[in-house]
């Protein structure tokens, strides 16, 4: 088994698993110093391309961003989010996942869904492609983005999905916007780590979109915490640069080439 995956599995019930998304090299390099797992999420569709839904994200877009992220991620586990319509059946999933692994050199792929995708997960795992699951809100297919686990039937279905995914061989599962108590139950009933986003402190780890954490996006979701307002910092720097260019204070002699 991949050593980085082993390390993540060992953290269950011991210490929290720290995860973030990255879409390009320079940010990825910073995150690599802090994270156990870096996800090239298809959230890049809305974050970078203003797409209405992740349905519009293509395999080519994801591969290009992942190649860049790979240049920055050396220590952390790098996970590639398989986009919508690239894993509709086991044959299609295997063909695309093999291409992704070859072109991006990522360590694993992530797929959204429960019971329906079990044969697909089994096919990839059988072919030695590590898979991360994703249940709760499924941005690729859900129509309503409200938190999951309100009703007993939904709770049972999600809990069952996580058990099926575990049995199919996923090494970890993202829980997106799952009710606090259900997150706790899932996390205690499966042996693999759960990674939460909007799913309370009851998960084995946490993931956020990096642009939300640094204040580069305009997302207002309840589960986001902005740790720094990088937009403010960039604005301040660019304003100063503009002033110095206009006032001929930059570039100075030391920034120029003189004989
Ligand atoms: O696409 C993404 O960034 C994700 C995370 C939010 C888990 O799937």
Whether ligand 1 lies within 6 angstroms of the CB of 212 is answered as no
> Tell me, what's the pLDDT at 21?
98
Please say whether the beta carbons of 170 and 121 come within 8 A: yes
**Distance from the CA of 248 to the center of ligand 1, in angstroms?**
45
Whether ligand 1 lies within 6 angstroms of the CB of 41 is answered as yes
> Tell me, what's the pLDDT at 144?
85
Per cent of the chain over pLDDT 70 is 100
Per residue in 130-161, pLDDT (tens digit) is: 999 999 999 999 988 899 999 999 999 999 99
Please say whether the beta carbons of 104 and 67 come within 8 A: yes
**What is the dihedral angle through the alpha carbons of 131, 137, 142, 148, rounded to the nearest 10 degrees?**
130
Q: What confidence tier does 100 reach under pLDDT thresholds 50, 70, 90? A: very high
pLDDT at 126 over 90: yes
Atom 4 of ligand 1, nearest CA residue? 41
pLDDT at 5 over 90: yes
Q: Report domain extents, the chain.
A: 3-228
The residue behind tokens 């720097």 is 237
Please say whether the beta carbons of 5 and 77 come within 8 A: yes
CATH code assigned to 3-228: 3.20.20.60
Residue 179 CA to residue 73 CA, distance in Å, equals 32
Residue 174 CA to residue 15 CA, distance in Å, equals 17
Q: Both tokens of residue 184?
A: 């706790």
Per residue in 159-198, pLDDT (tens digit) is: 999 999 999 999 999 999 999 999 999 999 999 999 999 9
Residue 41 CA: nearest ligand 1 atom is: 1
**Distance from the CA of 145 to the center of ligand 1, in angstroms?**
14
Residue 71 CA to residue 69 CA, distance in Å, equals 5
Please say whether the beta carbons of 183 and 213 come within 8 A: no
Cα-trace Rg, the chain: 20
Query: Mean pLDDT across the chain, nearest whole number?
Result: 97
Ranges of H-type helices in the chain: 3-10, 25-32, 44-47, 59-72, 90-104, 118-126, 152-168, 180-189, 210-213, 230-246
Per residue in 18-76, pLDDT (tens digit) is: 999 999 999 999 999 999 999 999 999 999 999 999 999 999 999 999 999 999 999 99
Atom 5 of ligand 1, nearest CA residue? 41
> Tell me, what's the pLDDT at 40?
98
Atom 2 of ligand 1, nearest CA residue? 41
Q: What confidence tier does 243 reach under pLDDT thresholds 50, 70, 90? A: very high
Residue 236 CA to residue 153 CA, distance in Å, equals 51
**Distance from the CA of 39 to the center of ligand 1, in angstroms?**
7
Residue 43 CA to residue 46 CA, distance in Å, equals 6
**Length of the chain, please?**
259
Q: What is the average per-residue pLDDT within 80-88?
A: 98
Q: CB 105: neighbour CB atoms within 10 A?
A: 13
Sign of CA dihedral 156, 18, 127, 134: positive
Which are the catalytic amino acids? 176
> How buried is 53 (Cβ within 10 angstroms: 0-12 exposed, 13-18 middle, 19+ buried)?
middle
> Tell me, what's the pLDDT at 143?
86
């Amino acid at each position: 088994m991949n050593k980085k995956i082993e390390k993540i599995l060992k953290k269950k019930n011991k210490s929290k698993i720290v995860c973030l998304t990255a879409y390009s090299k320079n940010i990825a390099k910073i995150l690599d110093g802090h994270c156990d797992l870096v996800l090239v999420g298809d959230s890049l569709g809305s974050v970078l391309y203003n797409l209405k839904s992740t349905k519009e994200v293509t395999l080519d877009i994801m591969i290009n961003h992942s190649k860049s992220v790979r240049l920055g991620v050396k220590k952390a586990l790098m996970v590639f989010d398989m986009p919508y319509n690239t894993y509709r059946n086991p044959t299609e999933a295997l063909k695309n996942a093999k291409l992704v692994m070859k072109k991006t050199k990522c360590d694993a792929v992530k797929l959204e869904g429960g019971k329906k995708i079990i044969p697909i997960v089994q096919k990839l795992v059988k072919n030695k492609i590590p898979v991360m699951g994703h249940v709760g809100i499924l941005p690729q297919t859900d129509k309503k983005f409200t938190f999951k686990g309100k009703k007993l039937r939904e709770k049972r279905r999600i809990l069952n999905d996580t058990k099926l995914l575990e049995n199919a061989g996923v090494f970890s599962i993202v829980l997106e916007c799952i009710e606090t108590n259900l997150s706790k139950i899932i996390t205690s009933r499966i042996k693999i780590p759960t990674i939460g986003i909007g799913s309370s402190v009851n998960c084995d780890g946490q993931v956020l979109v990096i642009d939300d954490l640094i204040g580069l996006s305009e997302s207002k979701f309840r589960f986001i915490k902005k740790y720094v307002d990088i937009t403010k910092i960039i604005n301040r720097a660019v304003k100063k640069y503009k002033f110095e260019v206009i006032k001929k204070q930059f570039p100075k002699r030391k920034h120029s080439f003189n004989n």
